[in-house]
Amino acid sequence: MKSVAEEIRELANRLEKINQPKVVKEADYDDEGDVDTTGMNLDDVGSELDQDDDDDSAGYSQKPMYDQLGKVLDSAGNPNPVKTVTTDDGKELPVSVDQARIIRMLMTTDKVKPMVRTKFQKDMQTSAGLTDFIDIKDYHEIPQLFVKRYLG
């Protein structure tokens, strides 16, 4: 029969073996140089997700209006600011900084359903859709037209 001290020692030895870090040997590395802890080749798992979405033009013939309006905003303090945007039908339209800010805000608001927001974004790519909004000289009234046209 074992004494209590011997049983405690055995338990401590077992715990020590459990808690010891695994020593990584040369054979534990896979051909990519990673430590292979599973024994499975997972090098290509998820590689289909590694493709960048560089082309965010969503079928537009010009740069997305959101980006063009951003250039109007970004260049506002420059000596030679961007003051126009080009629609998909080729028309170059003047846009003020305040109009650009409000239209961009409406293009990204999460207060409307995604279908409404997408429709608005597509409409802003055309001169027919954008002209109605930039013809409003008081930029405070642009959201009212948005509500009337898309939510009314």
Q: pLDDT digit string (tens) for 99-150?
A: 999 999 999 999 999 999 999 999 999 999 999 999 998 999 999 999 999 9
* The pTM of the whole model exceeds 0.75: no
Q: Transcribe 3-32 into DSSP letters.
A: -HHHHHHHHHHHHHHHHSPPPPPGGGB-TT
DSSP code for 28: G
- The tokens describing 42, both together, are 């997972």
Q: What is the pLDDT of residues 56-88, one digit of tens each?
A: 556 788 899 999 999 999 999 899 999 999 999
